[in-house]
C-alpha cells in the first residue's frame, strides 16, 4: 500500500517530511527540524502525528522531539545517540524494522556524518529517507566518522534499486553542483548541474532524487573514477570529501 510523503522546507535549508501510511492513516515525522513548522503542516493536512523517526542526533534533526511529543503524544524511535539532546522511546539499530501502520521501514546503518546515523528504507514503495548521509550531488560532512565508515554507508545506499526515491534532509544541491562541476567533467554531471541551477532559479526543490541519478552524477559516489590513483575506493572518497570541505565555490 502507498506511503504518502509530504515534503516542506523549514529552518534555513532543511526539509521536513511527514509520511502517511495509506492503509491505516498512521503518520510519522522523519526528523524534527522545527516543531512549530511540523505542527503547522500537520494542521494544514488534517493529520495527527503517531510517530517520530530520527536519523541522527543533530539539533536540526532531533531538536523538535520534545515539543512534538508533548503536543501530540507521538512515540519516538531513532538511533541511541539521539538521547544526547532529546527524548527517545525506542533505540534502533541496523536491520531493525519499524512498522508505520502497514508500511515496513527497514533501518540501514549509515554512520559517518555522525557515528550512529541511520536511514529508513521502504522497499515496497522504493523510498528511502537518508538524513544527512547522501545529498543530491553531495554527501554529509564527516563530523564524527571516518571516510571508510561513510564510504561503506554510501555503498549501502547505492546498492538500493536505481528507481529508489531518495529524500535528503537539506537543499544543498546548487552548492553541491558547483563543486561537482569543478571536479567531474562527465557530460551527465554538467547537464544535471544546469538543471539544478534552473530549478533553483525557479524556486523549485531539487529533493527528492533517485539512487540511479546519484550513481550517475554524484561526485562522492563516483570518487573512485575521479581519483583513480587513490589506494582504495574509501581513500578516493576521503580525498573528494576533503576537497569539498575546502571548496570555495
Active site positions, annotated = 56, 58, 60-61, 113, 132, 170
> Which residue's CB is nearer to Fe ion, number 16 or number 101?
16
Closest approach of Cβ 63 to Fe ion, in Å? 10
> Which residue's CB is nearer to Fe ion, number 61 or number 222?
61
Radius of gyration of the chain (CA): 18
Interface of this chain with Fe ion, residues 48 to 77, rule: CB under 5 A: 60
Distances (CA, A) of 22 to 5, 8, 129, 235, 247: 10, 19, 18, 43, 43
- 69 lies in the site for Zn ion, by CB under 5 A: no
Task: State the CB neighbour count (10 A cutoff) for residue 70.
Answer: 11
> Which residue's CB is nearer to Fe ion, number 132 or number 184?
132
Of the candidates 31, 132, 171, 184, which one interacts with Fe ion according to CB under 5 A? 132
Q: Which stretch binds Zn ion (CB under 5 A): 74-82, 129-137, 181-189, 227-235?
A: 129-137
**Cα angle 131-33-97, degrees, rounded to a multiple of 5:** 45
Of the candidates 41, 132, 171, 214, which one interacts with Zn ion according to CB under 5 A? 132
Closest approach of Cβ 10 to Fe ion, in Å? 11
Taking a C-beta distance cutoff of 8 angstroms, is the pair 111, 153 a contact?
Answer: yes
> Which residue's CB is nearer to Zn ion, number 101 or number 208?
208
> Which residue's CB is nearer to Fe ion, number 60 or number 81?
60
Residues binding Zn ion: number (CB under 5 A): 2
Q: Across the beta sheet with 27-30, what order do the strands follow? A: 3-10, 14-21, 27-30, 51-53, 75-78, 90-91
- 31 lies in the site for Fe ion, by CB under 5 A: no
Closest approach of Cβ 212 to Fe ion, in Å? 24
The strand pairing partners of 21, in sequence order, are 3
Closest approach of Cβ 50 to Zn ion, in Å? 24
Taking a C-beta distance cutoff of 8 angstroms, is the pair 103, 30 a contact?
Answer: no
Residues binding Fe ion: number (CB under 5 A): 2
Question: Could you give the angle at which helices 233-245 and 173-183 cross, rounded to 10 degrees?
Answer: 120
Interface of this chain with Zn ion, residues 5 to 24, rule: CB under 5 A: none
Interface of this chain with Zn ion, residues 45 to 64, rule: CB under 5 A: 58
Question: Could you give the angle at which helices 147-158 and 233-245 cross, rounded to 10 degrees?
Answer: 110
- Say how far residue 222 (Cα) sits from the centre of its chain: 18
Q: Which residues bind Fe ion (CB under 5 A)?
A: 60, 132
Amino acid at each position: 500500500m502507498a506511503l504518502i510523503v509530504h515534503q516542506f522546507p523549514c529552518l534555513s535549508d532543511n526539509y521536513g517530511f511527514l509520511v502517511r501510511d495509506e492503509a491505516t492513516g498512521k503518520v510519522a515525522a522523519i526528523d524534527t527540524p522545527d516543531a512549530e513548522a511540523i505542527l503547522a503542516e500537520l494542521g494544514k493536512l488534517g493529520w495527527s502525528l503517531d510517530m517520530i523517526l530520527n536519523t541522527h542526533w543533530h539539533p536540526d534533526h532531533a531538536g523538535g522531539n520534545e515539543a512534538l511529543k508533548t503536543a501530540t503524544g507521538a512515540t519516538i524511535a531513532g538511533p541511541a545517540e539521539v538521547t544526547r539532546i532529546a527524548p527517545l522511546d525506542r533505540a534502533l539499530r541496523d536491520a531493525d524494522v519499524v512498522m508505520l501502520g502497514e508500511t515496513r521501514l527497514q533501518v540501514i546503518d549509515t554512520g559517518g556524518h555522525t557515528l550512529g546515523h541511520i536511514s529508513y528504507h521502504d522497499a515496497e514503495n522504493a523510498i528511502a529517507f537518508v538524513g544527512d548521509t547522501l545529498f543530491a550531488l553531495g554527501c554529509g560532512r564527516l563530523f564524527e566518522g571516518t571516510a571508510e565508515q561513510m564510504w561503506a554507508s554510501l555503498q549501502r545506499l547505492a546498492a538500493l534499486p536505481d528507481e529508489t526515491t531518495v529524500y535528503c534532509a537539506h537543499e544543498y544541491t546548487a552548492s553541491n553542483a558547483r563543486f561537482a562541476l569543478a571536479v567531474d567533467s562527465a557530460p551527465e554531471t554538467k547537464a544535471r548541474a544546469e538543471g539544478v541551477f534552473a530549478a533553483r532559479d525557479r524556486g523549485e526543490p531539487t529533493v527528492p532524487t533517485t539512487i540511479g541519478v546519484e550513481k550517475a552524477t554524484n561526485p562522492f559516489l563516483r570518487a573512485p573514477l575521479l581519483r583513480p590513483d587513490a589506494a582504495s575506493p574509501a581513500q578516493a572518497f576521503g580525498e573528494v570529501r576533503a576537497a569539498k570541505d575546502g571548496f570555495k565555490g
